[in-house]
Chains A and B, each alone.
Chain A
Amino acid sequence: DAGVIQSPRHEVTEMGQEVTLRCKPISGHDYLFWYRQTMMRGLELLIYFNNNVPIDDSGMPEDRFSAKMPNASFSTLKIQPSEPRDSAVYFCASGRDRNSPLHFGNGTRLTVT
């Protein structure tokens, strides 16, 4: 099992540009989560999907953020336009069911200048 795969590992962009982060969950996992990690706030849940359907997006900071899951093996998190305060490590995680532990990818470190 390859685990949760995220790309890119690092992203550096200028303020105002569009950023797209990608995630491939573990095959057979029904739940997919997007988290953001900063020193100040720790790990924060942004949005999660169950069977490709968005269930709770209350953690998405504002309309500049959007997430999609077009099929069971792929999800994207898009920021448009990006701002310096979006700089953080973004993690994708998947889980087999609602009671299973989450498996995290190694994250995308986003720097917005």
Chain B
Amino acid sequence: EDQVTQSPEALRLQEGESSSLNCSYTVSGLRGLFWYRQDPGKGPEFLFTLYSAGEEKEKERLKATLTKKESFLHITAPKPEDSATYLCAVQALGRGGADGLTFGKGTHLIIQP
């Protein structure tokens, strides 16, 4: 069974204070690892897809990295508007043809001005 564990559950940072969010995963074969951002009352919004160990993706103050067992979402000099819940998800290869994502429970990030 595919499993995704995110840590910490919640993180409070001061504006400008850089940090990293962790996503550990167990999957029989990884098709892709996805990062999403979710704001209160909204659906998850796609950020990145990573496909192989060593791959990195960047968008503004966010950088996602991938190893064979975990992914990190690095947040550099965050601003209050970066406050959100960040979700990690894995998509497995050939699970009876299933294409759905298995999500972690997320990290609730608060950036204080």
Interface size class of B (residues with CB under 8 A): 20 to 34
Cβ-closest chain A residue relative to B104: A42
Question: Which residues on B sit within 8 Å (CB–CB) of A42?
Answer: 103-106
Cβ-closest chain A residue relative to B51: A99
Cβ-based interface call for A25 (8 A): no
B103 touches A43 (CB 8 A): yes
Question: Which residues on A sit within 8 Å (CB–CB) of B101?
Answer: 45, 102
Cβ-based interface call for B100 (8 A): yes
Q: A109–B44 Cα gap in the complex (Å)?
A: 15
- From residue B8, how far is it (CB to closest CB) to chain A in Å? 15
- From residue B4, how far is it (CB to closest CB) to chain A in Å? 9
Interface size class of A (residues with CB under 8 A): 20 to 34
Question: Which residues on B sit within 8 Å (CB–CB) of A50?
Answer: 99
Q: A103–B43 Cα gap in the complex (Å)?
A: 8
- From residue B12, how far is it (CB to closest CB) to chain A in Å? 19
Contact with B along A45-71 (1 / 0, CB 8 A): 100101000011001000000000000
Cβ-based interface call for B59 (8 A): no
B49 touches A101 (CB 8 A): yes
24 A-B pairs in the complex with CB atoms less than 8 angstroms apart: A31-B99, A41-B105, A42-B105, A42-B106, A43-B44, A45-B100, A45-B102, A48-B99, A50-B99, A55-B98, A56-B96, A56-B98, A59-B100, A91-B43, A91-B44, A99-B32, A101-B34, A101-B46, A102-B34, A104-B36, A105-B43, A106-B42, A106-B43, A107-B42
